[in-house]
Structure formats: structure tokens, C-alpha cells
């Protein structure tokens, strides 16, 4: 059996804050209400995505790594991560705000949870008028001030809220307090981790449980980076029909491809799988003489052994992700 460009069947996750844009905008197929996240590619325990099409249909991503090792991941990625897939790829729809939260570092997550940390990035696909994100602090803050604000319910006063629009991009390193606001649809790329420390949740009650959601402030206080930054948004150029650097971190690299015509990508020097997230338009990928359709809201993984990818389109924006 040979590897080919792979789509996976998404895993749809109920969230108290979820809406219906994953269905109405991104054409996802599900019946449940309040679906907030579509896990496109996941190796999180008990949330292992499976191949949707072709000869390998039904194979989990974990099985693919076991069978194809470095042909699937790339030699250096396989050496560093073994049989664990290093990234978790999602689309997120927030009808109402997410909780204020923070993720632990690799070191802290390893000690506490035997997990990777959760460095992540957001690419805004759609935002309602006046939609916001919370990213970091809006002033210099120390631990005592933070705890005082948290205790008296005024923690939002010291958090940095920014209005967002389509195309805005944010890198969220571990330790940075953050939240996606109401009316935001985005693509999220992150380390494989499901560890989140919830700080503040607007005193909401989950209709499914009848309970307020658990907060994790005892764990969060040691994870928070209190440093204040003047700018949290990622600046980038977007020259048409070429890969433009979006976020390059030690944990993943993401470029943006704004395509108005077909291009050919040569990955022979990359030594990594590549993931395409289609955030606008649609395209057809060609590999080894076969064609693969990629529509808005779909994700495709190019195994490391496939070097030449031809992308045909009359208009598409792709996020290009690799290690």
C-alpha cells in the first residue's frame, strides 16, 4: 500500500460556547447542537482521527505512523516524536466567548500530566462585527495584582482585548492568558495536547450538566506568564502564489498561500509531513498522477515521502503547516 494525500474524518466536539458555523460556513456534516470544535487531525488519546478516503480509509493516524514511520512523518520528526503525532489541527466556532484560560509549558505539562505543552496559533477565518479576542495583559501586572482582580471578579480589566477581522493571526505561547470571543470562526494549529487551565468562565452554567464548569486557578497561577507586550498580533506579508511566513515557532511552522493560479510545491528538502488547511476558496491537488479535491473548511495531510505537489485553483487561501 502506498501513501497519498490524506483527508481525515473530523471529530466534532460539543462546547458550551459552540455555534453552527462549522456546518453553515464550512459545510461540516453533523446533527448535534453547539458544536464548537472540528478536530481535523488528532492523535490525542481517545480522539484519534481516521482516514476518510482511499485505500487507507479507516486507518487511524496512529496506525499510519506505526506502518509507515518516517515515510509518513519525515525522518527527523519520527526521530523526535516516535509514534506520537506532534500536532492537533482544529477549526473553532465561538458563538459565545470561551473561558479565560492558559496552557502549561512543555516542562510543566510533562511533570503534571505526562503531556506536551500547548503552544498554539489562531488564523481568523471570519469575525462578526466588533468580535474580539483576549490575548495577554493590557498593562504591567504582578501575581498579587492578578490574584486580587481574580478574587473580586474584575480580572477582565487587566486583560488585553482586541477587535479582530478575517486574516488576523495570533501566536499563543504557553503561559499567555487568552480567550476566543463571541462571533469568531478560526483555524487553530497546536501541539498535541488537551491540557487547558480555565481561569474565569463568566459564571456560566452548562445546559448539558446543569453545573458551572470547573476552574483550575491553583494550577494556572504557576503557568501564567505575566509579561506585558505592546503587540500580540502577528504581522505578515501575503504575496500571491507563494509561501509567506505566518508563524514559525520551535513547535510548528505555518505559512500562508494566497493563490490566484496553480502552483507546484517541491518538498524534497523539507523532511516533514505537510498539512494544508483550506481557509478560503477551493483547490485540486495532484500527486503521482492522481487528483484530490480540497474545499473550504477541509484539511489534507501530505505524507513526507511525497515531494511534488501540484495545486490547481482559480482562487484559494491555504495554511501550509509542517515541522
Domain 243-322 has CATH 2.60.120.10: yes
Enumerate the known binding-site residues for Zn(2+): 103, 120, 178
The backbone torsions φ and ψ at residue 272, rounded to the nearest 5 degrees and listed phi first, read -160, 150
CATH number at 8-220: 2.60.120.10
Q: What angle do CA 227, 231, 232 make, to 5 degrees?
A: 75
pLDDT tens per residue, the chain (323 residues)? Answer: 899 999 999 999 999 999 999 999 999 999 999 999 999 999 998 899 999 999 999 999 999 999 999 999 999 999 999 999 999 999 999 999 999 999 998 888 888 888 888 999 999 999 999 999 999 999 999 999 999 999 888 999 999 999 999 999 999 999 999 999 999 999 999 999 888 999 988 888 887 888 888 888 888 899 999 999 999 999 999 899 999 999 999 999 999 999 999 999 999 999 999 999 999 999 999 999 999 999 999 999 999 999 999 999 999 999 999 99
Catalytic residue among 176, 198, 204, 213: 198
Q: What is the pTM of this model?
A: 0.94
Rounded to whole angstroms, how far apart are CA atoms 143 and 125? Answer: 34
Catalytic annotation present for 198: yes
223-247 burial: b if 16+ Cβ within 10 Å, else e = bbeeeeeeebebeeeeeeeeeeebb
- Extents of the domains making up the chain: 8-220, 243-322
Amino acid at each position: 500500500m502506498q501513501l497519498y494525500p490524506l483527508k481525515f474524518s473530523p471529530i466534532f466536539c460539543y462546547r458550551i460556547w459552540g455555534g453552527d458555523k462549522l456546518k453553515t460556513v464550512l459545510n461540516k456534516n453533523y446533527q448535534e447542537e453547539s458544536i464548537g470544535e472540528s478536530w481535523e487531525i488528532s492523535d490525542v488519546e481517545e480522539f484519534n482521527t481516521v482516514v476518510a478516503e482511499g485505500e487507507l480509509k479507516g486507518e487511524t493516524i496512529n496506525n499510519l505512523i506505526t506502518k509507515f514511520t518516517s515515510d509518513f512523518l519525515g525522518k527527523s520528526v519520527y526521530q523526535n516524536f516516535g509514534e506520537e503525532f506532534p500536532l492537533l489541527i482544529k477549526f473553532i466556532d465561538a458563538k459565545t466567548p470561551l473561558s479565560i484560560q492558559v496552557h502549561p509549558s512543555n516542562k510543566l505539562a510533562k511533570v503534571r500530566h505526562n503531556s506536551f505543552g500547548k503552544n498554539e496559533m489562531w488564523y481568523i477565518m471570519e469575525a462578526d462585527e466588533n468580535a474580539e479576542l483576549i490575548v495577554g495583559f493590557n498593562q504591567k501586572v504582578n501575581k498579587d495584582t492578578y490574584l486580587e482582580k481574580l478574587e473580586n471578579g474584575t480580572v477582565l480589566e487587566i486583560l488585553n482585548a482586541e477587535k479582530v477581522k478575517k486574516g488576523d493571526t495570533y501566536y499563543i505561547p504557553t503561559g499567555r492568558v487568552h480567550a476566543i470571543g463571541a462571533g469568531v470562526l478560526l483555524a487553530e494549529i497546536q501541539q498535541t495536547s488537551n491540557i487547558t487551565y480555565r481561569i474565569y468562565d463568566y459564571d456560566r452554567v452548562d445546559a448539558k450538566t446543569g453545573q458551572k464548569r470547573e476552574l483550575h486557578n491553583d494550577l494556572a497561577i504557576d503557568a501564567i506568564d505575566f509579561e506585558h507586550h505592546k503587540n500580540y498580533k502577528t504581522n505578515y506579508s501575503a504575496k500571491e502564489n507563494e509561501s509567506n511566513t505566518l508563524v514559525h515557532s520551535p513547535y510548528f511552522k505555518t505559512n500562508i498561500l494566497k493563490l490566484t493560479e496553480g502552483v507546484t510545491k517541491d518538498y524534497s528538502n523539507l523532511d516533514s509531513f505537510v498539512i494544508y488547511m483550506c481557509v478560503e476558496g477551493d483547490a485540486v491537488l495532484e500527486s503521482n498522477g492522481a487528483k484530490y479535491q480540497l474545499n473550504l473548511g477541509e484539511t489534507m495531510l501530505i505524507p513526507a515521502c511525497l515531494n511534488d505537489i501540484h495545486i490547481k485553483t482559480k482562487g484559494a487561501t491555504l495554511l501550509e503547516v509542517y515541522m
